[in-house]
Structure 1
Amino acid sequence: MLPVYSLLSWLGIAFPNAYVYLDPWRESWESIAIGSFFLLLCEFVSPSADFRDVFFAALEVPEARKAREKGKPVQVDGLEWYRKRWFSVFQVIIVAFGVSVATDITQAINKYCLTSSKIHFAHIWLTTIRSISISIAVLSCIKFYGALKKDLKHHKPLAKFLSFKLIVGLSFIQSIIFTILRSTHTLKESSTLTYADVNFGIDTMTTCIIMVPFSIFFHYSYNVAPYDLTKPRMLPLSEAPPQYAGENVPFNEARHMAHEEGGRYYGGFLGIKAWVMVFDPREILRAIVFAFTMRNQAGRMEREVVGVKDQDGRGYEY
């Protein structure tokens, strides 16, 4: 996210006439970052979609846990809760892409108007749609993190989430500050400041500068240490035992003890394959398709009840 965000911001400064066309694609890339973060959390649960379904089917989601603590018997299907979170996250990619395309089209036909919030311009409507969509996605990520934060603590999921959401948050605060400065005429066109400087140039340049400290923070939040093959690797949540060697060991600690060794690197020379995979859309596209087909798949799986015989000849269903 950092290099793409910085590059698009810099291009907006270097080519001010293209700023309105480029800026919405930052939000599109941000939506992909949110989806990728959600997929990363799912990977921590289990690399296998089937094992993941089993894990969430047995999960007591926060809503049910809070209701039980208050003495209210509320039954929440963990698997259905997980599927709703998935859909809520990946809808933002579709909406962000649509808003970006609509922004470019309306700007080209002079119906966007970046500096106006009048209802007969597209700016106010597209901004509202994007804000609602991204709010739903972020809230779903927070709920998902909240349900698993104790089990995923050693992965630093909150730091991973904040490392890119703080960028967006600060950019939003920036936009408010610069809007106030422009509306009070504290920041205005002069012999040294052009229209582009006042309306988005200085704001965008500030975003580029902010990327520097965040690039340092990313080295902490997305530490490469867990991928060092010379060290033990943690088991996914779905495979980690609740106890270790029969002893009463806390679940988190047990998972730290349960680990795998071996494996190989897939990044290629200087990580070139990993860089190529960053721009490979197939994983995100599969996730979007799954968001719209998961309910059909779930219904089909529920109808396919399979009888199985165990070694003693007894039958059971799953």
Structure 2
Amino acid sequence: MGIFSGNCPVPKGATSYSTKGTAHTPMLLVALACTAATVAISLSLIITHLRRYRVPKEQRQIVRIAFSPAVFAIISLFEIYNYATAQYIDPIGDVYESFCLCALFLLYLQFAAPGGTFGPEMFEAIKDADEGNRLGFDWPQITWLFVFQYPVTELISVIILEATEAADDYCSQSLSPKYGHLWAMLISSVGVGCAVGAILKYYGRMKGMMKVRRGLAKLVCFKLIVFLRFVQAWVFSILLQHHAIKPSKTLSYNDLLYGLPSLLTCVEMVLFAAAFWYAYSSTEYSSSAKPRDQRLSLPKAVLDALNPYDLFAGIGRWFSLFLHLQRTGGFKEWQRVKQQAKADKRANKRAGRGGQGRYRTIDGMESLSLPTQTHGRQDSQPEGLEHYNGGSAYGQQQPSQASELYYQPPSASPPGYREEEEDDEGGKSHLMADVQPARSTSPMPAWNGQRYDRSPSPAGREGLRGRDMV
């Protein structure tokens, strides 16, 4: 059987699933070693939790999530071993991911409402623990709907993938609507996007509480696994499609498309399994941390951790919560709050643009920023005036030819001036207003609503093209 059949376009270099390069055996051995290490690290973390099984409603979820690196590593190992089954078994990891994401959400709910039974009283306790702005609608229930739709949508995506793959209508190299690849990818992407977005918003409303329990580290460690697997598969597919990497005797087309991404996953899972020891540490469930909680025996802890009832019950509760919100107007209130938040954001944005301290000049020129400081005799000059009068009201320094910025007062008739007046040092001072308050030390006189006309500069200042300011 060829790697592509039916109407799917065959990429250049594609060969049968049985074709493998000389590098396949070394890749398989490395993947086997990494998978063994991942399973050992993951199981050791799980066993420590089972031996400290004092909070079943929390640790049950942690055990499920902590085993995810081992699941992804085992699946990747089998993909390298047999390329013909790669596209069939790879979705198993996506389905397990969807249930682990729900388990993470249930763990977050327990952090906010310890001992909750996932009933109405738990949702009210979560609303009371809200650290943000109190919302009027039932946002915990809506978050539940967005999270627990993911296993259903992912299962639908897998069914489409498996059915179209069996009928030779999947075509992983094409995004044409006539192939199943596009629809499976769209359904899966929408499902995971809604679930992750809802969990992030929940985390934002409980940030202080989650920070103490390493809530962000738990989410990042888990979702980074899925992100890397997704990116690696697409990167290698695009590189092959654009002939950036080409098959050879060492690495066949199947080795590049399935083998290398799966090998990278096996290596990465070793690192993630080790990181889970920090994010999902069992020390917070030790006898010293929880001396009042009774520890379950190891056999009972194993049976409790393997019981998937709460996950399936969460999916079943989806429909009753949906009908409840529809009946009580929860969705309408949610939409109203969203619209109000958008309106407030637009209003704040307009207010920010209108209050930036700008004005227009009287002759219709473009707006200029208002000054932010007072310039006295010893203060720094505005840009472009540092050569004017040597930074002093009575300086004699000549301005350069390239910098001729001068203070331009408004052009209209001011009150009269006396041509000359003795200054404090016995010299002549020109352009003194008739009514003059106490002399300012600023080289630029404060504008008091009067307009000034300048008389010619006195003799002896021929080199100065501008005029002295008051």
TM-score normalised per structure 1: 0.75
Question: 1:2 and 1:267 mapped to 2: Cα distance?
Answer: 26
Paired residue secondary structure (1:150)? helix
**Counterpart AA for 1:21:** Y
* Residue aligning to 2:313: 286
Q: Would you say 1:265 and 2:295 are equivalent positions?
A: yes
The aligned counterpart of 1:11 is 78
Give the partner amino acid of 1:166: L
2:110 aligned partner: 43
CA distance in 2, matches of 1:12, 1:276: 30
Q: How far off its partner does 1:133 sit?
A: 1.0
C-alpha distance in structure 2 between counterparts of 1:119 and 1:30, whole Å:
26
How far residue 181 of structure 1 moved from its aligned partner, in angstroms, is: 2.2
Render the CA deviation track for 1:162-205: whole Å, top value 9, x for unaligned: 11101112223323432342133232222222232121111111
Residues in 2 aligned to 1:118 and 1:299: alpha-carbon distance in whole angstroms: 37
What runs of 5+ residues in structure 2 fail to find an aligned partner? 1-67, 329-470
Counterpart among 114, 125, 131 of residue 55 in structure 1: 125
Q: In terms of mean alpha carbon deviation, does 38-47 or 154-163 score higher?
A: 38-47
Alignment map for 1:223-262 (pairs within 5 Å)? 223-228=281-286, 230-233=287-290, 261-262=291-292
Q: What RMSD, in angstroms, separates the aligned Cα atoms of the two structures?
A: 2.4
Q: Deviations over 1:193-225 (max 9, x none)?
A: 223212111111111110011111000000001
CA spacing shift, 1:92–1:267, aligned 2, 3 Å: farther
**Residue in structure 2 matching 1:140, options 198, 209, 212:** 198
Question: 2:205, 2:164 → 1: CA distance?
Answer: 41
- 1:20–1:114 Cα contact (<8 Å) kept: no
AA aligned to 1:232 is A
Q: Which has the higher helix share?
A: 1
Q: 1:33 aligns with which of 97, 100, 106?
A: 100
Task: Give structure 1 regions of 4+ aligned residues with deviation exceeding 4 angstroms.
Answer: 59-62, 273-279, 295-301
Quote the Cα distance in structure 2 between the aligned partners of 1:135 and 1:299: 23
Cα displacement (A) at 1:6: 1.0
Question: 90-99 or 187-196, which moves further after superposition?
Answer: 187-196
Q: Is the 8 A contact 1:117 1:124 kept in 2?
A: yes
Q: CA deviation at 1:117?
A: 1.9
**Which residue identity lines up with residue 266 of structure 1 in the other structure?**
L
Structure-2 separation of matches of 1:144 and 1:96:
22
Cα distance between partner residues in 2 of 1:199 and 1:23: 13
Aligned residues of 1:90 and 1:288 also touching (Cα < 8 A): yes
CA 1:292–1:20 in 2, change beyond 3 Å: closer, same or farther? same
Distance 1:219 1:125, change over 3 A: same
Distance in 2, Cα, partners of 1:38 & 1:77? 22
1:84-103 equivalences in 2 (<5 Å) = 84-103=142-161
Moved more, 184-193 or 94-103: 184-193
Counterpart residue identity of residue 135, structure 2: V
Partner of 2:235: 177
Q: Confirm or deny: 8 A CA contact 2:210 2:216 kept in the other structure.
A: no
**CA 1:275 to 1:111, structure 2 compared with 1: closer, same or farther past 3 Å?**
farther
Q: May I ask how many residue pairs the two structures share in their alignment?
A: 259
The correspondence for 1:188, drawn from 246, 252, 267, is 246
Matched residues in 2 for 1:125 and 1:296: separation? 28
Q: Which runs of 5+ in 1 are unaligned?
A: 66-74, 234-260, 302-318
Residue 167 of structure 1 corresponds to which residue in structure 2?
A: 225
SS at match of 2:157: helix
Aligned-residue sequence identity (percent) comes to 27
Describe the SS at the equivalent of 2:209.
coil
CA distance in 2, matches of 1:32, 1:12: 22
